[in-house]
């Protein structure tokens, strides 16, 4: 589970009663709340070894980009407990946001990126919302790429120069209709058929 999800889950758990009582249906019946407990960071109680383990988990994440890796390694080499804690609370999110933006610009520069991927990346860069970008990279990119792949495979079917075997393989990929199957056909399968 990603550390940001844990942080969001803790925050959501702490805010859920307050938000529930603030809704109009409960507001009239609810008694006034005098103080709201703010959730402490999950890193506040960790010692140096636990903080190093949390940073090592960040390094093990395949989505970690260059800035995240560079900063995490520097902290593991000679970071203080306070520096590690501060990075896990705020620095990691900032480093991840920068790495995510780099990944978006890499997608824009990729000649294989289709129209939907390019349109969505441009919109994300215009909005400049780190959470929205992270969510898109985790789920939206796969869906946008699948739509672009369907268009590319349909073009292969419509191409009069395509062989019957290639058309059959393209139709099978469209029938499968999974993002992974579509991508596999375009990257590997079509070359195996005509190879």
In sequence order, what DSSP letters do the residues of 52-116 get, joined into one string? HHHHHHHHH-TT--HHHHHHHHHHHHH--HHHHHHIIIIIHHHHHHHHHHHHHHHHHH-TT--HH
- For residues 126 and 89, membership in a common domain is answered with no
Tens of each residue's pLDDT in the chain, 195 residues: 344 444 444 444 444 443 333 334 333 433 344 444 445 777 777 888 889 999 999 999 888 899 999 999 999 998 898 999 999 988 999 999 999 999 999 999 999 899 999 999 999 999 999 999 999 999 999 999 999 999 999 999 999 999 999 999 999 999 998 999 999 999 998 888 865
N-to-C CA span, the chain: 41
- For residues 159 and 121, membership in a common domain is answered with yes
- For residues 78 and 153, membership in a common domain is answered with no
Q: What is the domain extent for residue 155? A: 110-195
- For residues 15 and 78, membership in a common domain is answered with no
- For residues 24 and 51, membership in a common domain is answered with no
- For residues 2 and 69, membership in a common domain is answered with no
- Into how many domains does the chain fold? 3
- For residues 187 and 115, membership in a common domain is answered with yes
- For residues 150 and 191, membership in a common domain is answered with yes
- For residues 94 and 129, membership in a common domain is answered with no
How far, CA to CA in Å, does 75 sit from each of 7, 9, 99, 120? Answer: 20, 25, 18, 34
- For residues 71 and 142, membership in a common domain is answered with no
The CB density around residue 88, as the number of other CB atoms within 10 Å, is 22
């Amino acid at each position: 589970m990603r550390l940001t999800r844990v942080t969001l889950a803790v925050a959501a758990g702490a805010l859920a009663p307050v938000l529930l009582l603030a809704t109009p249906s409960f507001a009239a019946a609810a008694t006034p709340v005098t103080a709201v407990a703010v959730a402490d960071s999950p890193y506040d109680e960790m010692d140096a070894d636990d903080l190093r383990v949390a940073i090592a988990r960040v390094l093990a994440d395949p989505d970690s980009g260059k800035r995240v890796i560079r900063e995490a390694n520097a902290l593991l080499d000679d970071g203080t407990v306070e520096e590690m804690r501060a990075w896990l609370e705020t620095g990691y999110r900032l480093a991840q946001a920068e790495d995510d933006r780099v990944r978006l610009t890499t997608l824009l520069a990729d000649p294989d990126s289709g129209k939907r991927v390019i349109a969505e990346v441009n919109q994300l860069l215009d909005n400049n919302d780190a959470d929205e970008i992270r969510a898109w990279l985790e789920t939206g990119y796969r869906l946008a790429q699948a739509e672009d792949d369907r268009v590319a495979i349909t073009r292969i079917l419509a191409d009069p120069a395509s062989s019957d075997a290639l058309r059959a393989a393209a139709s099978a990929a469209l029938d499968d209709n999974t993002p992974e199957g579509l991508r596999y056909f375009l990257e590997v399968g079509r070359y195996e058929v005509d190879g």
